[in-house]
């Protein structure tokens, strides 16, 4: 790799409310290495096995059970075996729902009703964050970097104590308190943080607080070429504050909060744009650290799941390929599609509209789940076309059912379509319930099927019963 792009290529594993089975990670890490990744940015969120008075953060959880200490050791060991650097990510200010939702820390919310952001003026806030950092660092003693999050702190300056203080000072005071603690107590660790909250803070204030001495920013941007825009002034401002810089792109979880299949075209374009940007602006900095390819599981702790990891492996492969080869063309597509076992007409850069052809067999870990999710998207399209068809609206609408004003000729034809649809749902649900446990734990599977499949099936059953009761009235 050209030094201008930095030596690091981290794959972001977002475990929030969605831990991935260790056996699956074991199959993925060698591929990550083969595809040119150098490390992992691991966001444990509520899956880390916190202990003592923090135990509740990683257990007693609606969405998932936390990893065990042994799981953590195993994951770190597997990363080491594959030469992958591990960078843990722990939120320390905003996106703190996974902590502030618990009763014992409700008093640390900046806004009483919202669990999103910590109140930085309460001294217990810093103590809590420090305890969390210490527990993670102690369980991962070999780490060299730690990411303290600090993006999207939606609520600052709302409580009585914070209100008189300007927002940028509230932000920098808290972040610097965390960074100074790390410097004093873990001097060999290099902290990293998301850059977005600093985008609107004046250069003079950033200089006054001296934040550049403590942290390396990770500048994130997930848009494709047509909307990719990081202003020139921002690069100049950061270059006056920071010697080293990181970038963050996205290979999934950035095109829609309830996206099911990744839009590879979008993510490939995002990486192309980053290549051009780094070429232009990387020279402002003494040291370019590299890129983290983010793969978001949810937009936040309370958001539904977006693209599952197995279905985004092709997107990750393409994005790494684009980054490593500094470009994107037909040969990239062919090379990646062949490596993953795709027949030519089944590798789609734009997964919608549906239906689309589905590969009968592929060759990467988790491909059976990918095939099932592709099938799901074809079936959801078919389902919608039947349930929302003109035939239903014309001969089996709710007024007609209520008034028993129906024609069996139409209802019989609809019932055949409903039955066929139901049989296909049976097949798909059985298929997914069989293969999803290869990667996911029960809680994730229940949530995902309960969100994407069950409501449609309940809906289909209800309309089928209405149709059957109409038929009975004539028999």
Residue nearer to Zn ion on the CB measure, 119 or 340: 119
CB of 127 to Zn ion, least distance (A): 15
Using the rule CB under 5 A, which residue among 22, 159, 332, 449 binds Zn ion?
159
Q: Which ranges constitute the DSSP H helices of 164-231?
A: 167-185, 203-209
Segment contacting Zn ion by CB under 5 A, of 10-18, 158-166, 245-253, 359-367? 158-166
Phi-psi region of 126 (alpha: psi -120 to 50; beta: other; left: phi over 0): alpha
Tokens of 383: 């389902």
Other Cβ atoms less than 10 A from the Cβ of 178: the count is 25
CB atoms within 10 A of CB 210: 12
Residue 124 CB, nearest approach to Zn ion (Å): 11
Distances (CA, A) of 340 to 28, 79, 146, 314: 13, 22, 33, 7
Angle at 178 between CA 174 and CA 181, to 5 degrees: 135
Q: Which is nearer to Zn ion, 160 or 388 (CB)?
A: 160
Binding-site string for Zn ion from residue 120 to residue 139, where x marks contact by CB under 5 A and - marks none: -x------------------
Residues 6+ apart with CB under 8 A from 46: 16, 17, 57, 58, 61, 63, 64, 66, 98, 301
Question: Under the criterion CB under 5 A, does residue 162 sit at the interface with Zn ion?
Answer: yes
DSSP 390-454: HHHHHHS-HHHHHTT---HHHHHHHHHHHHHHHHHHHHHHHHHHHHGGGTB-HHHHHHHHHHHTH
Binding mask 67-106 for Zn ion (x = CB under 5 A): ----------------------------------------
At 87, list the tokens: 């960078």
Tell me which residues in 284-343 interact with Zn ion (CB under 5 A). Answer: none
Nearest approach, Cβ of residue 16 and Zn ion (Å): 24
**Residue 170 near Zn ion by CB under 5 A:** no
Are residues 10 and 38 in contact, defined by beta-carbon separation less than 8 angstroms?
yes
Which among 295, 342, 311, 340 has a CA at the least distance from the CA of 440? 311
CB of 232 to Zn ion, least distance (A): 35
- E-only strand ranges, 349-399: none
Which region, judged by CB under 5 A, interacts with Zn ion, from 128-136, 159-167, 262-270, 456-464? 159-167
**Span from 91-99, 118-126, 229-237, 341-349 in contact with Zn ion (CB under 5 A):** 118-126
Does the footprint of Zn ion cover residue 449 (CB under 5 A)? no
26, 73, 152, 429: the catalytic one is 152
Nearer to Zn ion, 121 or 259 (CB): 121
SS3 percent helix, strand, coil of the chain, rounded to 5, is: 55, 10, 35
The H or E element that residue 138 is part of is helix 123-139
Size of the site for Zn ion (CB under 5 A): 5
116 in contact with Zn ion (CB under 5 A)? no
Q: Which is nearer to Zn ion, 162 or 288 (CB)?
A: 162
Does 439 bind Zn ion (CB under 5 A)? Our answer is no
* CB 158 to Zn ion: min, Å: 7
CB closer to Zn ion, 110 vs 374: 110
Residue 110 bears catalytic tag: no
Q: Give the x-and-dash track for 375-414 against Zn ion (CB under 5 A).
A: ----------------------------------------
133, 135, 101, 134: which is closest to 117 by C-alpha?
Answer: 101
Q: Which of 369, 439, 435 is closest to 25 using CA atoms? A: 439
Smallest separation (angstroms) from Zn ion to the CB of 159: 3
Q: Which of 206, 220, 203 is nearest to 176 (CA)?
A: 206
Q: Residues 48, 52, 56, CA angle at the centre, nearest 5°?
A: 55
Choices 112-120, 212-220, 343-351, 391-399; region in contact with Zn ion by CB under 5 A: 112-120
Of 92 and 297, CB closest to Zn ion: 92
Q: Which is nearer to Zn ion, 173 or 257 (CB)?
A: 173
119 binds Zn ion (CB under 5 A): yes
Binding residues for Zn ion (CB under 5 A): 110, 119, 121, 159, 162
Give catalytic residue positions: 152
């Amino acid at each position: 790799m050209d030094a201008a792009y930095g030596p690091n290529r981290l794959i972001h594993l977002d475990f929030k409310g969605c831990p991935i089975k260790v056996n699956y990670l074991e199959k993925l890490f060698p591929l990550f290495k083969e595809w040119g990744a150098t490390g992992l940015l691991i966001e444990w969120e509520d899956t880390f096995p916190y202990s003592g008075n923090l135990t509740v953060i990683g257990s007693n959880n609606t969405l998932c059970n936390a990893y065990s200490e042994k799981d953590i050791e195993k994951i770190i060991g597997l990363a080491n075996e594959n030469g992958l650097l591990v960078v843990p990510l722990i939120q320390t200010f905003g996106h703190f729902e996974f902590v502030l939702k618990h009763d014992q820390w409700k008093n640390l919310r900046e806004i009483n009703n919202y669990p999103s952001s910590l109140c930085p003026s309460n001294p217990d806030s810093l103590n809590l964050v420090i305890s969390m950092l210490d527990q993670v660092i102690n369980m991962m003693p070999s780490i060299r970097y730690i990411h303290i999050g600090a993006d999207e702190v939606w609520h600052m300056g709302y409580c009585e104590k914070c209100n008189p203080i300007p927002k940028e000072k509230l932000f920098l005071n808290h972040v610097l308190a965390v960074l100074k603690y790390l410097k004093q107590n873990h001097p060999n660790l290099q902290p990293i943080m998301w850059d977005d909250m600093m985008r609107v803070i004046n250069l003079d204030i950033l200089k006054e607080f001296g934040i550049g001495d403590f942290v390396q920013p990770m500048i994130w941007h997930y848009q494709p070429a047509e909307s990719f825009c990081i202003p020139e002034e921002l690069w100049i401002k950061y270059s006056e504050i920071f010697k080293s810089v990181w970038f963050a792109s996205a290979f999934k979880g950035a095109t829609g909060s309830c996206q099911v299949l990744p839009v590879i075209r979008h993510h490939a374009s995002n990486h192309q744009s980053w290549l051009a940007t780094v070429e232009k602006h990387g020279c402002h900095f003494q040291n370019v650290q590299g890129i983290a390819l983010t793969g978001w599981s949810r937009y936040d702790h309370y958001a539904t799941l977006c693209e599952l990891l197995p279905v985004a492996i092709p997107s990750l492969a393409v994005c790494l390929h684009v980054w490593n080869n500094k470009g994107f063309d037909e040969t990239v597509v062919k090379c990646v599609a062949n490596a993953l076992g795709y027949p030519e007409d089944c590798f789609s850069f734009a997964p919608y509209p549906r239906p689309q052809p589905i590969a009968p067999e592929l060759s990467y870990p988790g491909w059976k789940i990918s095939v099932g999710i592709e099938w799901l998207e074809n079936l959801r399209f078919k389902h919608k076309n039947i349930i929302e068809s003109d035939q239903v609206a014309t001969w089996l609408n709710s007024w007609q059912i209520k008034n028993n004003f129906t024609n069996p000729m139409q209802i019989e034809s609809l019932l055949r379509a409903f039955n066929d649809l139901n049989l296909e749902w049976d097949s798909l649900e059985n298929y997914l319930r069989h293969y999803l446990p290869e990667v996911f734990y029960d809680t994730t599977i229940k949530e995902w099927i309960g969100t994407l499949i069950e409501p449609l099936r309940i809906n289909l059953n209800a309309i089928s019963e209405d149709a059957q009761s109409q038929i009975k009235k004539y028999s």
